Chain A
Amino acid sequence: MMKRILSLILAASMILAFAACGSKTAEPDRELNVLNWGEYIDPDLIDEFEEQTGIQVNYIEMTSNEEMLIKLRSSDSNYDLCFPSDYIIEQMIREDMLLPLDYSKIPNAENIDPKMKEITNVFDPGNKYSLPYMWGTVGILYNTTMVDEPVDSWEILWNEKYAGKIWMYDSVRDTIGITLKYLGYDLNTRNEAEVNAARDLLIAQAPLRKGFGTDNMRTSMVNGKAALALIYSGDAFACIGENPDLAYAVPKEGSNVWFDNVIIPKNAKNVNAAHMFINFLNDPENATRNTEYIGYSTPNKAAMDNLGPEYTEDETYNPSQEILARCEVFHDLGEFVEVFNAAWDKIKASN
């Protein structure tokens, strides 16, 4: 009997130990929980922020916007800062999940390029809840030794000459989005027939496709294993840096311009430190180092001024007004996203 009680105590203490893992040990106002994409910040900056302020930063990585949304909705969510993409921010505003930013605590916000604020206005009017962090376009990365014709249209991704050498991106919105553009439709269409037309075109592309890539696609392109890839400009910029045979183009039919903005969730515990961190990131010097580390374009004008011509004069890193003019941002599709997901299932099943 004694032994049974002992083992029950053992079991109970195990449960308590697990429960303790969930609760926090440090003082809440000395701690900042950041939820961000992997390798999406210069780790030295985190160390410096900790040194300067004495606030401990817990950097938690996410792999998708949807995963982040699930985490933030959880009732015991304790994230103070997060970096979702444009259309997700639009949805979060609609669902009243965000805290308005207190700009008196973010003097460095004035470093953000007004041109960028103009674009982000479409999903967050007046940047009430979010401040641009990184941005870029979606386009084609190609190997100039394998592709001899000019790359100026999405049509080349359906060219049989490059069968088995074409990478698409493993993401519903991007891959279907550019196909809609190729067909001359709206990136944010809510017309089922148009989505299905894009779906059929992508099913027809199956024999030409090497696959739907993410990280593996970058390695493949850098090593000259494929000719063409649908890619984010920031990734393209990094690939071109490693292999000068590569080049990047945003096709004439138009494309997507995307933003990852920094937000503070409504249930954040350490709002003050979150503002401090946003201000710290937008310091011209810090923003410069951050964009150099990540390789994605910075919306910070002061940081842009610090960068050399290898960044500022590069159309991949810093697209011209003419390129930007043919790009639009993604909008939250609401329930219509189901039509996109169903199309995606069929496209994936066609391989």
Chain B
Amino acid sequence: MKRKFFAYPYIVWMILFIAVPMLFIFYYAFNVDGRWTTEKFIQTLMDMDNWRILWVSLEFAFGTTAICLLLGYPIAYILSNMKKSVAGFISVLFFVPMWMNFVLRTYAWSAIIEYAIPELFGVTESLTDTASGRTIAVLLVLVYDFLPFMVMPLYNTLSKLDKNLLEASRDLGANGVKTFFRVVLPLSVPGIVSGITMVFVPSITAFTVPALIGNGAYMLYGNKIETAITSAAGYHKNDFSVGSTLSIILLLCIVVSTLIMNHFDKDKEGGSIL
């Protein structure tokens, strides 16, 4: 507790760059031209197009999270059963691409999908020519980007698992499958929870990948907030109410999903955001 003063710069940082901007969002949502009103707020809430756009973003986030979990769990499980040195080496391999800038990696994927793969197969068509192909391409890159965030917490939880429990389960007559579903899986819930949180929350707001990989064909929630703020400058004196209202909705979505996830992770073993 003595070293509490080290926290002050961080607290100042939080106030300046998290709390104050948050207050601005609430201020602009209910204040149009210096006048307090809920009219714009309600109008934005009633606009079904916004909800449709949010739903598309959520679909991408759900899809990414589900695929990451299905792919990441076996990877983490295999890694946790390896020798520590080997597992350490392989997990470094997982993280090496992340040392490179995220946008650069996305551009690289765009070149692979648009140019390298068609070249390889000697065709002129590329995956992004059709709507369903674009969805697949976007999901592929999102999964690539977020998979390490799923694997690492799962690996942490699984490698800390007490191997005596598995032996006990075997001794008591459970086969491998039963041991996995009755012992390993329940004990790895904290890892699953933090993995899901770490993938789901950032992937709701991901719009660089859909924009670059999906040929700008998608209007996702992040893009919608951006256009709501920039286009409002077109006819009012910087009216940010729609963009702020949309941001508040997104904020609530993230808070609710984090609360739900925290509910499953009572011990806070996997670490959490809120």
Chain A residues with CB under 8 Å of chain B are 3-4, 6-8, 10-11, 14-15, 18, 64, 66-67, 69-70, 73, 91, 163-165, 167, 170, 172, 206-207, 209-214, 216, 220, 223-225, 333-335, 337-338, 341-342, 344-346, 348-349, 351
CA A212 – CA B218 in complex, angstroms?
Answer: 9
**Contact for B233 among A8, A18, A73, A212, CB less than 8 A:** A73
Q: A91-B235, A212-B217, A225-B114 are in contact. List 9 more A-B contacts (CB 8 A).
A: A10-B9, A11-B12, A170-B216, A210-B128, A216-B110, A220-B114, A223-B115, A224-B124, A341-B227
**Which residues of chain B come closer than 8 Å to A220, judged between CB atoms?**
114
**Which residues of chain A come closer than 8 Å to B8, judged between CB atoms?**
4, 7-8, 10-11
Chain B residue with the shortest CB-CB distance to A212: B216
Choose the segment among B58-66, B129-137, B259-267 that binds chain A (4+ C-beta atoms closer than 8 Å): B129-137
Interface 0/1 of B156-199, CB less than 8 Å to A: 00000000000000000000000000000000000000000000
**Which residues of chain B come closer than 8 Å to A18, judged between CB atoms?**
16
Tell me the dominant secondary structure on chain B's binding face.
helix
**Which residues of chain B come closer than 8 Å to A346, judged between CB atoms?**
49
Q: Are A342 and B231 in contact (CB under 8 A)?
A: no
Chain A residue with the shortest CB-CB distance to B6: A7
Chain A residue with the shortest CB-CB distance to B135: A351
Knowing A66-B231, A73-B238 are in contact, say whether A349-B219 is a contact too (CB < 8 A): yes
**Which residues of chain A come closer than 8 Å to B131, judged between CB atoms?**
206-207, 351
**Which residues of chain A come closer than 8 Å to B229, judged between CB atoms?**
70
User: Which 9 A-B residue pairs are closest in the complex by CB-CB distance?
Assistant: A211-B215, A164-B129, A348-B219, A66-B230, A212-B216, A351-B217, A7-B5, A7-B8, A11-B12
Q: Are A349 and B217 in contact (CB under 8 A)?
A: no
Which interface residue of A69, A209, A211, A213 has the most chain B CB atoms within 10 A? A211
**Contact for B217 among A3, A67, A209, A224, CB less than 8 A:** A209
Question: Can you list 9 pairs linking A and B with CB atoms under 8 Å apart?
Answer: A4-B5, A212-B215, A224-B124, A337-B234, A341-B227, A344-B227, A345-B49, A348-B217, A351-B134
**Contact for B235 among A4, A170, A334, CB less than 8 A:** A334
Q: Are B237 and A73 in contact (CB under 8 A)?
A: yes
CA A225 – CA B7 in complex, angstroms?
Answer: 54
Nearest-neighbour CB distance to chain A for B9, whole angstroms, equals 5
Nearest-neighbour CB distance to chain B for A290, whole angstroms, equals 28
Nearest-neighbour CB distance to chain A for B137, whole angstroms, equals 11
Chain A residue with the shortest CB-CB distance to B107: A216
CA A89 – CA B5 in complex, angstroms?
Answer: 52
Nearest-neighbour CB distance to chain B for A323, whole angstroms, equals 28
Which interface residue of A8, A73, A333, A349 has the most chain B CB atoms within 10 A? A349
